[in-house]
Structure 1
Amino acid sequence: MSKAALIRPPAAKAASAKPARAPRATKAAGQPAAERPPRPRAKAVGAYHHGELREALLDAAEALLAQRGAAGLSLRDVARGAGVSHAAPYHHFAGLPELLAALAERSFQQLGAAMQAGVDAHPGDAREQLLAIATAYVDFAQRRPARFRLMFGPVLASRHQHPGLDRAAEASFRVLLDAATRFDAASGPLIALTGWSLAHGLSHLSLDAAFTGLPLPGPLPEPAELVRLMSAKVLSG
C-alpha cells in the first residue's frame, strides 16, 4: 500500500454515517406540539402602573360577581380573571371581604353619580329631581342586580370597618337627602327615607319577580317607570 493511501481519510465510512434524527413532535389532546395554543401566562405585578392592578382586580371581580354572585367568588378566581398571579390581590386587599367592600364602594360611587345626573338634569325643580333619583336608583338595580345585592348585603353591615365604603354609601344618600330638603325643608329627612324605602323595596321585589302573576287589571309598567309613578303619587299626597 502506498504512503498516499495510508493518509487518505476514510471517505466511505464518513458517507455511511446516519444523519441526526429530527425530534419527534409531541402531542397533547390530539394536537401536534406545533399547533398547541400558547398557555395564558400570569401578568407580573410590576407590569402594572400604579393603581392599575387594583382596578384590574375590581374589574375581574365585577365580571365574576355577575356570573356567580358573591358566594361564588374567591381571590384565586379573581386573580385568574385579571391574568395575574394568585398572590397579586394581596398587594391591595387583605382578603376577600376587603375586595368585596371595595367593589361595593365603587358601586355606591356609580349609583351616586347616576342619581346626581338625574338632579343635574332638572336644575331648580326639586320635585323632578326626586323623581329622577328614584328612576336612576331602580334602573341601577335592574342593570346591575348582582352588585345591587352585594351593596345592600352583609358587606353594608360592616361599612364602618371600611372607610371608603362608608363614605361612598353616605354620599349617595346625601344626593337624595339634599333634593328632598330642597323640596320640603321641614320634612326633607322623612321624604328621603320614604323615597329610598319605596325605590329600594320596588327594586328587590322586581328582581325577585314578586310582581309576576299578581291579580292586577293589566300589565305593570317597567320598574323604572313604575317607581316614578309611585313616587309622584307620594309627593302629590
Structure 2
Amino acid sequence: MKNIQPAESAAPGPTRRRNRRGEGVKLRDEIIAAAVELLDEEGDERAITLRSVARRIGIAAPSIYPHFPDQPAIMLAVVRQEFDRLAAALRAAAAGGDQDPRQRLLAACRAYLDLAQTHPERYRTMFGGLWMPNLSDGSVTEDDMTGLGTEALQVIIDALDDCVTAGKATSTDLFSDAVALWLGLHGLAHQRAVMRAFPWPEDIAERVIGALAHLKDT
C-alpha cells in the first residue's frame, strides 16, 4: 500500500548526531518515541508522517526507511508498544498480593480504564486508528495483527480464573467471559471519552465489571 504524505513545511529540526555502528536499534526507538509524542500533542495520527518524525529527531526522512518502510509501519510499532504498556499495567494491577482475587480483577479493570483516560489519543489509535500496514509484502502478517492485545487479555483471563477458583465468580467459560469483559471495558472507555458531560453513575465501572465477570455479590 502506497503511503501518501501530506505537504509539510520544510522547517529544519534539531541537528542529530549520526548513530555509531550498532546504534540502529536506538534510532528505531527514537522514531517510535517521536511518533508517540506527535500523537499525544496533535491528537491525530495523520500528523505523524515520515517528515514530521524525522524533523522531530533531527534526521533526514530517508534515514527512516531502513527501520520503517512507511507511516503505517511506524504506527504499527506504536500500537504494539502501547499494547505492551497496557498488558504491563494490567499485570501490575492484578499482582496485588495482599488483595483477594476479586479486588485484583477490579484493580486490573480500573487500570485499563485509567490508561484509556490518561492517553486517549494512543488508546483511540490502538483500537480505531486509520493506519493499516501492508500485508502483501510479508513484513506484517495477519498473525501480527490478530495477536495485538493477547497478553492483556490473558491477564484478564488469569484474574477471572483466580476469582472462580476462590469462589468469587461463577464463570464457566473463562475465555468468552474475559472477552465480554474486555468489550465492556472498551465500550465504557469509549463512551466516557465521547460523552464527557453525561452523568455517569459513580459505580458504573464496578457494575459493568461485576455483571460481565459474573462476580458474586460477596
Paired residue for 1:227, among 205, 210, 218? Answer: 205
Query: Once the two structures are aligned, what percentage of the paired residues are identical?
Result: 26
CA distance in 2: counterparts of 1:126 and 1:39, whole angstroms: 51
Aligned AA (2:141): Q
Q: CA deviation at 1:233?
A: 5.4
Using a 3 Å threshold, how does the CA distance of structure 1 residues 50 and 165 change in structure 2: closer, same or farther? farther
Secondary structure at 2:29 match in 1: helix
Q: Deviations over 1:102-151 (max 9, x none)?
A: 00000000000000001111467332222111100000001111110111
The 8 Å contact of residues 119 and 130 in structure 1, kept in 2 or not, is answered as: yes
Verify: 1:204 aligned to 2:190, yes or no. yes
How far apart, CA to CA, are the structure 1 residues paired with 2:176 and 2:115?
23
Please give the residue correspondences for 1:40-189 in structure 2 after superposition, counting only pairs within 5 Å: 40-46=14-20, 49-68=23-42, 69-122=44-97, 125-154=100-129, 161=141, 166-184=146-164, 186-189=172-175
- Equivalences, count: 192
- Which shows bigger deviation, 134-143 or 185-194? 185-194
AA partner of residue 161 (structure 1):
T
Q: Which structure shows the bigger proportion of residues in helix conformation?
A: 1
Mapped to 1, the partners of 2:208 and 2:96 lie a distance apart of: 20
- CA shift, 1:226, in A, is 4.3
The Cα shift of 1:48 comes to: 7.5
CA contact (8 A) 1:44 1:85 kept: no
Structure 1 runs of 4+ with >6 Å offset: 155-160
Structure 1 stretch 62-71 or stretch 93-102: which is displaced more?
62-71
Larger radius of gyration: 1
Note the alpha carbon deviations across 1:151-201, whole angstroms, 9 max, x for none: 102479869737556545211111111222232362312321232122111
1:53-82 Cα deviation digits (max 9, x unpaired): 011111110010112211222111011111
RMSD value, Cα: 3.0
8 Å contact kept, 1:101–1:162: no
Question: TM-score when scaled to structure 2?
Answer: 0.75
What is the identity, as a one-letter code, of the residue corresponding to 2:173?
S
